């Protein structure tokens, strides 16, 4: 049998299709791998973009929220402060004057009815021809001596004169006399200060008097009157700081029978001197010839009393000071 040996040329032709098939297969795989890669890259880019966007948004929005919260907190705090203090955001202090007083441009309170330097209106100063401001008019009558004097409540002299009347004053501190302590003081228009029960009796007697049932100071017990439309009245004031405060009652009155007979004196209690009271005298028209001056204790019938004068001529004069000490029962002055 004869053998047929292929020629080299035939081998080349037969092998070429195999080479082409391999190349074609390889060309088909190239685009499949590119799509997967592109999708992966797109996902990575999207994820990175989202993270960047989230970071940017957080950087902008979060501070704005914090600022809003801080502003809200500041506003709340300011409102809270505004409810608990009289100081405004401009550090301006509100001044409130007591009844009967007028606020000046310098933020002080004055009584234009009795203030020599603010008589009738703020800023009006009486000339040297006058000695006082009475009912808002410059006058030659005696002046009120107590600084920051407050008229006792209930005595309105713009309507009528005050005669044989009492009123109660509640103090910011206690007063003690004969070991009796209270902050409710009854004041009589007849020259008397009572720590207990009081009286409107105008007919003075020797001491002790059964008309008064508690510790009583008779600065000048007589038939006194507060004249209508004048600066006459009974004033009071508390000065100093605890425990050294001073409580003063100032009587500026006239006699019932004559509005030009002046009775002007003070009754003074020192916080650091328990059971002691002082009486200081300015103008006493008749020198005490028709009045009772002294103090008495809780039981008027048999209780202790210290008498200075009873219807005694020239019993007191200008600048006289009497000190009654109920600890020892001694009067000095």
How much is the pLDDT for 303?
63
How much is the pLDDT for 55?
61
pLDDT beyond 80 at 64:
no
Confidence band of 79 (pLDDT split at 50, 70, 90): very low
What sign for the dihedral angle of Cα 186, 325, 272, 270? positive
The least confident of 32-41, 42-51, 149-158, 202-211 is 32-41
Mean pLDDT of 272-294: 93
Where is pLDDT greater, at 108 or 273? 273
Paired residues of 293 in beta bridges: 309
Confidence band of 302 (pLDDT split at 50, 70, 90): low
The least confident of 30-34, 67-71, 181-185 is 67-71
Confidence band of 40 (pLDDT split at 50, 70, 90): confident
How much is the pLDDT for 324?
98
CA distances from 314 to 189, 224, 253, 287, 308 (A): 22, 18, 18, 4, 12
Confidence band of 36 (pLDDT split at 50, 70, 90): low
pLDDT beyond 60 at 10:
no
Where is pLDDT greater, at 60 or 205? 205
Helix (H, G, I), strand (E, B) or coil at 130: coil
How much is the pLDDT for 13?
37
Query: How far out from the chain centre does Cα 177 lie?
Result: 29
Q: Which helix (H) or strand (E) holds 56?
A: helix 8-84
Cβ pair 227, 258 in contact under 8 A: no
CA dist., res. 236 & res. 238, Å (int):
7
How much is the pLDDT for 255?
92
Q: What is the dihedral of CA 181, 182, 186, 192, to 10 degrees?
A: 20
How much is the pLDDT for 89?
53
How much is the pLDDT for 75?
37
Q: What is the dihedral of CA 207, 208, 211, 214, to 10 degrees?
A: 130
End-to-end CA distance of the chain: 175
Mean pLDDT of 299-321: 87
Confidence band of 56 (pLDDT split at 50, 70, 90): low
Model confidence over 110-165: pLDDT tens digits?
Answer: 888 888 999 999 999 999 999 888 778 898 877 899 998 999 998 877 778 899 99
pLDDT beyond 80 at 304:
yes
* Eight-class DSSP state of 159: T
């Amino acid at each position: 049998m004869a053998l047929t040996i292929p020629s080299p040329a035939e081998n080349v032709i037969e092998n070429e299709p195999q080479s082409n098939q391999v190349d074609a297969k390889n060309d088909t795989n190239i685009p499949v791998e590119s799509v997967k890669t592109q999708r992966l890259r797109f996902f990575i880019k999207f994820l990175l973009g989202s993270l960047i966007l989230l970071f940017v948004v957080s950087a902008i929005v979060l501070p704005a929220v914090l600022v809003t919260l801080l502003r809200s907190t500041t506003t709340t705090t300011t409102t809270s402060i505004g409810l608990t203090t009289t100081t405004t955001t401009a550090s301006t202090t509100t001044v409130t004057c007591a009844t009967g007083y007028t606020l000046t441009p310098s933020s002080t309170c004055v009584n234009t009815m009795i203030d020599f330097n603010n008589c009738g209106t703020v800023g009006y100063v009486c000339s040297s021809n006058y000695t006082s401001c009475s009912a808002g008019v410059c006058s030659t009558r005696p002046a009120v001596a107590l600084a920051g004097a407050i008229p006792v409540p209930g005595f309105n002299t713009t309507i009528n004169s005050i005669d044989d009347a009492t009123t109660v004053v509640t103090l910011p501190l206690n007063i003690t006399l004969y070991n009796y302590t209270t902050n409710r003081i009854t004041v009589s228009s007849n020259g008397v200060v009572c720590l207990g029960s009081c009286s409107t009796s105008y007919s003075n007697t020797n001491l002790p008097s059964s008309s008064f049932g508690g510790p009583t100071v008779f600065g000048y017990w007589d038939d006194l009157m507060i004249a209508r439309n004048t600066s006459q009245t009974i004033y009071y004031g508390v000065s100093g700081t605890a425990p050294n405060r001073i409580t003063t009652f100032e009587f500026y009155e006239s006699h019932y029978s004559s509005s030009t007979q002046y009775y002007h004196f003070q009754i003074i209690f020192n916080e650091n001197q328990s059971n002691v009271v002082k009486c200081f005298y300015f103008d006493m028209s008749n020198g005490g010839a028709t009045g009772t001056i002294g103090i008495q204790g809780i039981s008027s019938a048999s209780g202790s009393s210290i008498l200075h004068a009873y219807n005694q001529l020239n019993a007191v004069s200008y600048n006289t000071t009497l000190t009654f000490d109920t600890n020892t029962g001694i009067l000095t002055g």
